[in-house]
Amino acid sequence: MSGGGDIGSTNTKTPADFLKSIRGRPVVVKLNSGVDYRGILACLDGYMNIAMEQTEEYVNGQLKNKYGDAFIRGNNVLYISTSKMTLADGA
């Protein structure tokens, strides 16, 4: 009866594994308000509070502000995604 349960069991990643793997990498954080923050993920906690470095704020796809460091409260986060391009590529 365990024939179907073995499929993919060695390659299973949890959301926590994903978040650990992207620390120190470029990410996009989308807020419930629709604002995007793009930068380097410095750290996060169990409440999804996020610290970012080299952060850029985008509203409606347009760059509005640049911050050295940014702290985002977790209850505002809609999702976190790995960035498709590095910050150097966008400069």
Strands of the sheet containing 77-82, edge to edge, are 62-72, 50-59, 36-44, 26-31, 77-82
Q: What is the pLDDT of residues 2-12, one digit of tens each?
A: 455 555 556 78
Q: What is the pLDDT of residues 13-55, one digit of tens each?
A: 888 888 888 999 999 999 999 999 999 999 999 899 999 999 9
Q: What is the pLDDT of residues 45-83, one digit of tens each?
A: 989 999 999 999 999 999 999 999 999 999 999 999 997
Going by pLDDT thresholds of 50, 70 and 90, the confidence category of residue 1 is very low
pTM of the model: 0.76
